[in-house]
Amino acid sequence: MEIKPKKSDKIHPFTRNILAVIQAIPEGCVLSYGRVAALAGNPRGARQVSRILHSMSRKHDLPWHRVVNASGRISLPRGRGYELQKALLESEGVHFSPSHTIDLSVYLWGADTGV
Protein backbone atom coordinates (compact mmCIF):
# COMPACT_ATOMS: atom_id res chain seq x y z
CA MET A 1 0.00 0.00 0.00
CA GLU A 2 1.06 3.48 -0.53
CA ILE A 3 3.11 5.11 2.09
CA LYS A 4 1.24 7.96 3.56
CA PRO A 5 2.73 10.23 6.13
CA LYS A 6 -0.72 10.76 7.65
CA LYS A 7 -0.48 11.50 11.29
CA SER A 8 -0.41 15.17 12.19
CA ASP A 9 0.50 16.38 8.72
CA LYS A 10 -1.83 19.19 9.58
CA ILE A 11 0.97 20.95 11.35
CA HIS A 12 4.02 22.35 9.61
CA PRO A 13 7.27 20.37 9.64
CA PHE A 14 8.76 23.20 11.60
CA THR A 15 6.41 22.50 14.44
CA ARG A 16 7.33 18.85 14.43
CA ASN A 17 11.02 19.66 14.31
CA ILE A 18 10.65 21.62 17.48
CA LEU A 19 9.26 18.58 19.21
CA ALA A 20 12.19 16.49 18.00
CA VAL A 21 14.75 19.07 19.08
CA ILE A 22 13.31 19.50 22.52
CA GLN A 23 13.13 15.79 23.05
CA ALA A 24 16.76 15.58 22.00
CA ILE A 25 17.97 17.89 24.73
CA PRO A 26 20.13 15.86 27.14
CA GLU A 27 19.66 16.13 30.85
CA GLY A 28 21.58 18.82 32.61
CA CYS A 29 21.42 21.01 29.51
CA VAL A 30 19.15 23.78 28.35
CA LEU A 31 18.30 25.56 25.10
CA SER A 32 16.93 28.98 24.42
CA TYR A 33 13.74 29.41 22.42
CA GLY A 34 15.67 30.97 19.60
CA ARG A 35 18.14 28.09 19.60
CA VAL A 36 15.42 25.48 19.42
CA ALA A 37 13.77 27.39 16.61
CA ALA A 38 17.07 27.63 14.75
CA LEU A 39 17.71 23.91 15.08
CA ALA A 40 14.18 23.31 13.88
CA GLY A 41 14.99 25.30 10.76
CA ASN A 42 13.55 28.67 11.68
CA PRO A 43 15.83 31.05 13.61
CA ARG A 44 12.95 33.53 13.69
CA GLY A 45 10.49 31.11 15.15
CA ALA A 46 11.42 31.61 18.78
CA ARG A 47 7.92 32.71 19.61
CA GLN A 48 6.43 29.71 17.94
CA VAL A 49 8.48 27.45 20.17
CA SER A 50 6.65 28.75 23.18
CA ARG A 51 3.36 28.25 21.39
CA ILE A 52 4.25 24.68 20.43
CA LEU A 53 5.18 23.90 23.98
CA HIS A 54 1.78 25.07 25.10
CA SER A 55 -0.01 23.03 22.50
CA MET A 56 2.10 19.91 22.31
CA SER A 57 3.53 19.44 25.77
CA ARG A 58 0.08 18.30 26.82
CA LYS A 59 -0.10 15.36 24.43
CA HIS A 60 3.60 14.87 23.95
CA ASP A 61 6.07 14.11 26.63
CA LEU A 62 8.17 17.17 26.15
CA PRO A 63 10.90 18.24 28.55
CA TRP A 64 9.73 21.81 28.18
CA HIS A 65 11.55 22.68 31.38
CA ARG A 66 14.81 22.48 29.44
CA VAL A 67 13.79 25.48 27.39
CA VAL A 68 14.58 28.94 28.71
CA ASN A 69 14.91 32.39 27.17
CA ALA A 70 18.08 33.78 25.61
CA SER A 71 19.07 35.43 28.88
CA GLY A 72 19.29 32.09 30.61
CA ARG A 73 16.26 32.97 32.65
CA ILE A 74 12.94 31.24 33.08
CA SER A 75 10.26 33.10 31.21
CA LEU A 76 7.34 31.77 33.15
CA PRO A 77 5.90 34.06 35.80
CA ARG A 78 5.95 32.97 39.39
CA GLY A 79 3.11 30.67 40.24
CA ARG A 80 2.76 29.74 36.57
CA GLY A 81 5.47 27.14 36.34
CA TYR A 82 8.53 29.16 37.21
CA GLU A 83 9.18 27.29 40.40
CA LEU A 84 8.33 24.02 38.74
CA GLN A 85 10.78 24.51 35.91
CA LYS A 86 13.49 25.64 38.28
CA ALA A 87 12.96 22.59 40.44
CA LEU A 88 13.10 20.24 37.46
CA LEU A 89 16.30 21.81 36.17
CA GLU A 90 17.99 21.71 39.54
CA SER A 91 17.01 18.08 39.83
CA GLU A 92 18.90 17.45 36.59
CA GLY A 93 22.03 19.16 37.82
CA VAL A 94 21.45 22.66 36.49
CA HIS A 95 22.58 25.30 38.95
CA PHE A 96 21.07 28.76 39.16
CA SER A 97 22.87 32.02 39.77
CA PRO A 98 21.97 34.21 42.74
CA SER A 99 19.92 36.23 40.27
CA HIS A 100 17.76 33.28 39.25
CA THR A 101 19.69 32.97 36.01
CA ILE A 102 21.29 29.95 34.36
CA ASP A 103 24.87 30.10 33.16
CA LEU A 104 24.36 29.40 29.48
CA SER A 105 28.11 29.18 29.02
CA VAL A 106 27.92 26.00 31.01
CA TYR A 107 24.49 24.51 30.55
CA LEU A 108 23.57 25.58 27.06
CA TRP A 109 23.41 22.48 24.89
CA GLY A 110 26.36 22.60 22.53
CA ALA A 111 28.27 25.10 24.64
CA ASP A 112 31.55 24.23 26.27
CA THR A 113 32.79 25.14 29.69
CA GLY A 114 32.94 28.66 28.37
CA VAL A 115 36.69 28.53 28.05
Residues that bind DNA (CB under 7 A): 11-12, 14-15, 32-34, 42, 44-55, 57, 64-65, 67, 69-71, 75-76, 81, 85
CB of 92 to DNA, least distance (A): 15
Position 51, amino acid? R
Output 28 or 57, the one with its CB closest to DNA.
Answer: 57
SS3 content of the chain, % helix, strand, coil (to 5): 40, 10, 50
Residues in the chain: 115
Output 2 or 104, the one with its CB closest to DNA.
Answer: 104
Output 21 or 76, the one with its CB closest to DNA.
Answer: 76
Rg of the chain (C-alpha set): 15
CB of 1 to DNA, least distance (A): 28
Query: Hey, what's the torsion of the CAs at 84, 85, 91, 97, to 10 degrees?
Result: -110
CB of 12 to DNA, least distance (A): 5
Position 29, amino acid? C
